[in-house]
Every structure is written in C-alpha cells, then in structure tokens.
A = this chain, B = another copy of it.
Amino acid sequence: MTGRLTIAGLGPGGEGLVTPEVTAALADATDVVGYIPYVSRVADRVGLTKHASDNRVEIDRSNHALTLTAEGRRVVVVSSGDPGVFAMASAVFEALEDGPETWRDLEINVLPGVSAMFAAAARAGAPLGHDFCAINLSDNLKPWTLIEKRLRLAVEADFACAFYNPRSKARPEGFLRVLEVLAQSCEPERLITFARAVSTSEEVLTTVPLIEAKPEMADMRTLVILGSSRTRLIERAGQQPIVYTPRSVPE
C-alpha cells in the first residue's frame, strides 16, 4: 500500500457544508488524525482508526500523521473550517520541513473547506463583501505587539476584519485590549458581529455598534467580524438584520 496524506477541512460544523471531496477522502482513509472534537465528527467504521489528540500539540500530531503515511497508510488530518486558515495545514508543513528528507516524497494533498469566517459572514449577510483581512487574536504563537500593530494598520487600510480565537480562559484580558485599540481608531457606530458556533445547533449571531461591544460577547467558539467604515445594516421586521459591505468606494 502506498501512503497518502490528506489535510482536509470539515467546514464549520454543519454536515451540509462538508464538500464531497472531503467526504470521499474520509471514506477511503485508514486513519484519521486531529483535535478531539473534529475527529469525533468522523463516523466510526470498520477499517478506520481514529487518532484524537488535545489542543496545542499540533506538531506532535503532524509528526504522527507523517509517520503513519510513511508506513503506507491513507491518513486524513482533519481541521474545522478550512485547513489552511489558522489550522493544521501549516503545522503539517512545519513538521515536514523539519522531518526526515524522505517525507518530502510522500503524496500530500490539502482539501479546502468552508471557512468559519465565510460561514459567519454568510449568516450575517455579506460583511466581507469588499477588501478584508483575517487576524488570529491569540498571542500563543506571536507577540502581542504584532497583533496591536496589525489591528491599527487594518483599520487604517479600512479593511473589514475577521478575528479568530478572540478569547480563551488562558487570555481573558486580550480581547478587552483589542476592543480598546479598535475604539481608539474606529468611529463608535462601527458595526461588529459576534458569530458563535455557526452552522451548529448552538449558533448565535449578534451585531452591535462597536461602542456597545463587550469582551464577554466572545469566547473561543466565536468568530468576530468588524465592519469597514462603509459596512451597513439593513433592519428587517421580525427577521435578523442584514449586515453587508458595499462593493464600491466612491472617489
């Protein structure tokens, strides 16, 4: 058997958002490797071994997946959302680059998925309908000063912004600081959307002006979208409002 490594995005949670090519890769796999809640989304079946690991061991997990592949197994590394967005694809390639030279001969494919940011944007309307950026607010892997610098430059560029990992128990104060930085550079009525657990039964969406945003509106399952200065809200009677960014910027 020739080994094959597939790094696949499961989408944000809803089964209707898993692409057919990811479903096919999982059906053909001998081994699934990933963070516990994502591996648990893959149905058990005869011939499939599931390797679930805890958070923050991405390099160990990648080495394990590459080792299994080198042994000839058909391995799928699963990520939530898209595997290339603050997820497992970069971790696997870091491990590959630091690992045995022979790993470079392995067949490796990345299968894109519906990202949390675009699923959240779709539920809100189209807040990312013009130029935008995505920033991971966790300072586990980069200095906090860089996060603040990027926030300020993103607002200066008038990008809409998708924020990943806004808040965790280990970093309760970070998102408060983010809101303070944004308050210094954005107008108070700037729209900000908190999209929690999009496409699951626990989905909650809330859009408020920035001046009303509170740190506790976000947790680690929340994707936060800050509008640009041109992002608008359409009120609707008895329905959730629509948040969208127009396609054009006048001269």
Contacts and interface: CB of A to CB of B under 8 A. Distances in A.
Interface in A100-118: 104-105, 108, 110-115, 118
A110 B93 contact: no
Contact of A234 (B93, B112, B122): B93
Given A86-B130, A110-B122, A141-B249, 8 more contacts: A16-B20, A20-B20, A82-B122, A89-B126, A93-B129, A105-B237, A110-B125, A112-B115
A97 interface: yes
A70 interface: no
B20 A122 contact: no
Interface stretch (A36-44, A148-156, A182-190, A201-209): A148-156
Given A85-B128, A237-B104, A93 B244 contact: yes
A89 B41 CA distance: 30
A123 B126 CA distance: 26
A157 B159 CA distance: 12
Contacts of A94: 244, 246-247
Contact of A154 (B87, B136, B157, B242): B157
A89 B247 CA distance: 10
A119 interface: yes
A177 B97 CA distance: 35
Interface size for chain A: under 10, 10 to 19, 20 to 34, or 35 or more residues?
35 or more
A248 interface: yes
A81 to B, nearest CB: 9
Contacts of A127: 84
Contacts of A20: 15-18, 20
A90 B247 contact: yes
Interface string A8-39: 00010011111111001000000000000000
A22 to B, nearest CB: 8
A84 B249 contact: no
Task: State the 10 A-B residue pairs at the shortest beta-carbon distance, nearest first.
Answer: A90-B129, A16-B21, A89-B126, A133-B133, A141-B248, A110-B122, A142-B249, A93-B244, A153-B157, A112-B122
